[in-house]
Structure 1
């Protein structure tokens, strides 16, 4: 049985009641296999529509370029790699994305690994509809032993080659964040001062909502409501990796789309990992990528991973246990007082 959930809720009565607020333009669409919500505050409707159209055209372009299993530049690259052939005439954008993703893979001790598309495909997550399956231990062991990594790519000019034909690039943990950064550029180019972009839960704030910051809620991974709220300031981005977004149940066990590249199995025991990223040129990308190594890493390694990746604000939810940095604790507010009563709260420096 297929499950997909979208995991951020925008809070604030005036925002939720946007239809009664003439200063707020809000538009919902479906791109990247997820819900995209663009909110623009304080602009006339025609200008807001024009900017939204430009952003959506960019999202569609990226979708068509970076899709992991539907025909795209990325699938063409993967096909060339699988045939031990060089991929020629790669766009400068694709090359820069791969180089940046490779740097992030190295920095994360390879816990973020966009080269494990074969594993992701084996688990059935390279399709829009996925069903429960019985994992084959030997098959998974063999897939892991192939050791795909972006380090095995060699780039010369516009040509990309791989020393490992089993590298299959999947940018599902990168592309939405990259799209946020591109959307932010477009919005600023059109001199829009206040907007909120939400791509399936990866969110970036520009300016604010009236005289208040944009406010978003962090989803309770085992409930239908938000577990906490946070004010998202100008230029900040937030992203979550969770076991409740794309998963299936087999013999009562949950298998999510977040796969450990060293074991080959979906991560168990962690419900969600949320990161809050300070303003930068690639804040959106980092909000998408950096939650993955925190979600995947062993509990005892999280502090070191966070320090290495310069993640200062994170929140990790497990069964009856919530851990977060002090910086994150200062930013969020739990919505239900029972949350702190029913969970062990661990705050780290």
Structure 2
């Protein structure tokens, strides 16, 4: 997860005041800024969005004992079928499609691997999982594609499958929130859920929303970018949930292929084009680019139809396509920048 900082711009005195509200869901901070005809409308719209996010947080929390997802994971561990709610069924269907599209570099079925590394806890110890535990989980090869459906019920192929939608729920929720705001009559807003951010319209003065991309080793913006209506930006980085042991950094981004939590890349930011799943793509697409690395990042960016991407490798060097290069405004420019072919 990453923190995208909204870059505040001075507004002229005749412009309406923005309505801002914050919350904490999906284990991360939520920031909502919107403009409305009046503050009462703004408060109702923001309150409805945040209430829905809070409900989804309780429902889809991977390690809370009283949510739907926790109950589903208990059923999977026992080899029992389950009936998903409409929201969970949608996440599973979209997750299966994106898992296949990413060649398995993104998979919501590796919750047991996440737990083995200790990242299912709000606070975690600097320890490595037991090698035999990792070997057993990798041998089971849990994949979301192995969920079998019939008559509205689902069952897993292996009891090693544990669902964790931490790599897609924030972006999926962005798309839901955007639809809610538009239905409520809000056409100018910026929503940030733990570093995944989506824009609605423009600011009242006609300028686009400006956001910053955090430097992975400094607590400030590395670059800024203007978002068009409906565009979404997301970042996956090794600097939020991580620990260091023996001089090495291990982060919550776990490679489904080998169960490795080594942080070989510092961060990946992706720009999703406007569309019904723009928020979802801004969350998911950063993972295959992260695990594929600089050599194959452009291929996956093209496969997901991204509007741009930026990768900061383990040495702090930047890799990006020409579309992103044309839109970025550097603030802390890397010493070495590699410009690739597409996009």
Report deviation, 1:94. 1.4
Separation in 2, partners of 1:262, 1:292: 12
Q: What secondary structure is seen at the aligned counterpart in 2 of 1:182?
A: helix
Alignment of 1:344 with 2:333, yes or no, is no
Conservation of the 8 A alpha-carbon contact between 1:204 and 1:238:
yes
Q: What secondary structure is seen at the aligned counterpart in 1 of 2:236?
A: strand
Alignment of 1:101 with 2:74, yes or no, is no
Alignment of 1:292 with 2:293, yes or no, is no
Question: Which has the higher mean CA deviation after the structures are superposed, 34-43 or 101-110?
Answer: 34-43
Gaps of 5+ in 1: none
Q: TM-score, normalised by structure 2?
A: 0.94
Conservation of the 8 A alpha-carbon contact between 2:271 and 2:282:
yes
Conservation of the 8 A alpha-carbon contact between 1:114 and 1:170:
yes
Counterpart for residue 129 of structure 1: 123
Counterpart for residue 254 of structure 2: 259
Q: Quote the RMSD (CA, aligned, Å).
A: 1.8
Separation in 2, partners of 1:329, 1:288: 20
Counterpart for residue 144 of structure 1: 138
Report deviation, 1:77. 1.0
Separation in 2, partners of 1:98, 1:82: 17
Separation in 1, partners of 2:103, 2:82: 27
**What CA deviation, in whole Å up to 9, does each residue of 1:299-337 have, x standing for no partner?**
33223222222234100011231111111111111013x
Q: What secondary structure is seen at the aligned counterpart in 2 of 1:294?
A: helix
Alignment of 1:320 with 2:313, yes or no, is no
Alignment of 1:10 with 2:6, yes or no, is yes
Counterpart for residue 155 of structure 2: 161
Alignment of 1:215 with 2:178, yes or no, is no
Counterpart for residue 237 of structure 1: 232
Q: What secondary structure is seen at the aligned counterpart in 2 of 1:183?
A: helix
Gaps of 5+ in 2: none
**What CA deviation, in whole Å up to 9, does each residue of 1:249-269 have, x standing for no partner?**
112211000001111111432
Runs of 4+ aligned structure 1 residues displaced above 4 Å come to: none
Alignment of 1:227 with 2:219, yes or no, is no
Q: TM-score, normalised by structure 1?
A: 0.93
Separation in 2, partners of 1:75, 1:290: 25
Paired positions, count? 339
2:329 equivalent among 309, 328, 333: 333
Conservation of the 8 A alpha-carbon contact between 2:138 and 2:258:
yes
Separation in 2, partners of 1:314, 1:179: 21
